[in-house]
């Protein structure tokens, strides 16, 4: 219930009474389950990160297979859970300091999985470059959640998005790089 409300109108514009009404209970009844609206938002962030971790985890024979799977699974996850993805992308600033610190720690752990995979796929990358590549890939994949609703989803959106990200990584990092102008 809160997922739809927060994704459509934003965290600040939604009250606990509305969340309760949407859930079929009174606003005060929500406090039996959550200490407040901030805890509801933190729970949604946990759901988003847990879902991304579940979707992109597995056992792989090669780093290339892992990267392909991670990109495709993350694209599918963002498209399938786009309302939750909208909250994850837009509402981090609305979390309390304690919840934001925990979220940042969890996001860094998720990013590390991508960095390690990219370092194995593209040994020419420095650690800093692998972080940048992971951030670019995830930023591109996550941005689809913010597209206008009419653009979501086409039959091939997840495949096209994943192919786009994988081709970009391949183009940038698969061959020795020429010196770039500053």
What pLDDT is recorded for position 120?
A: 95
Cα 70 from Cα 163, distance rounded (Å): 12
What pLDDT is recorded for position 176?
A: 61
Cα 165 from Cα 162, distance rounded (Å): 5
Per DSSP, 21 falls in state: H
Cα 163 from Cα 159, distance rounded (Å): 6
Residue 65, burial from CB neighbour count under 10 angstroms (0-12, 13-18, 19+) = middle
Q: Hey, what domains does the chain have and what are their CATH numbers? A: 37-173 (1.10.357.10)
pLDDT for 27-71, tens place per residue? Answer: 778 888 888 899 999 999 999 999 999 999 999 999 999 999 999
Q: Which of 131, 26, 146 is nearest to 82 (CA)?
A: 146
What pLDDT is recorded for position 25?
A: 83
Task: Report yes or no: 41 and 11 within 8 Å, Cβ to Cβ.
Answer: yes
Structure tokens at 181: 């102008």
What pLDDT is recorded for position 101?
A: 95
Q: Which parts of the chain sit beneath pLDDT 70?
A: 149, 151-153, 175-182
Residue 77, burial from CB neighbour count under 10 angstroms (0-12, 13-18, 19+) = buried
Diameter over CA atoms, the chain: 63
What pLDDT is recorded for position 134?
A: 97
What pLDDT is recorded for position 18?
A: 87
Cα 54 from Cα 49, distance rounded (Å): 9
Give the chain's length.
182
Cα 130 from Cα 53, distance rounded (Å): 19
């Amino acid at each position: 219930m809160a997922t739809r409300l927060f994704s459509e109108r934003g965290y600040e514009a939604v009250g606990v009474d509305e969340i309760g009404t949407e859930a079929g209970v009174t606003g005060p009844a929500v406090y039996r389950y959550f200490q407040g609206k901030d805890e509801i938002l933190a729970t949604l962030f946990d759901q988003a990160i847990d879902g991304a971790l579940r979707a992109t985890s597995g056992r792989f024979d090669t780093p290339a297979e892992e990267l392909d799977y991670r990109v495709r699974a993350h694209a599918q996850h963002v498209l399938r859970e786009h309302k939750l993805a909208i909250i994850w992308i837009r509402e981090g600033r609305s979390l309390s300091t304690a919840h934001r610190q925990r979220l940042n720690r969890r996001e860094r752990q998720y990013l590390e999985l991508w960095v390690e995979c990219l370092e194995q796929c593209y040994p020419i990358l420095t650690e800093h470059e692998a972080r940048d590549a992971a951030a670019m890939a995830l930023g591109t994949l996550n941005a689809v959640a913010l597209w206008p609703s009419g653009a979501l989803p086409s039959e091939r959106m997840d495949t096209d998005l994943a192919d786009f990200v994988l081709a970009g990584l391949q183009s940038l990092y698969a061959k020795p790089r020429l010196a770039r102008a500053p």
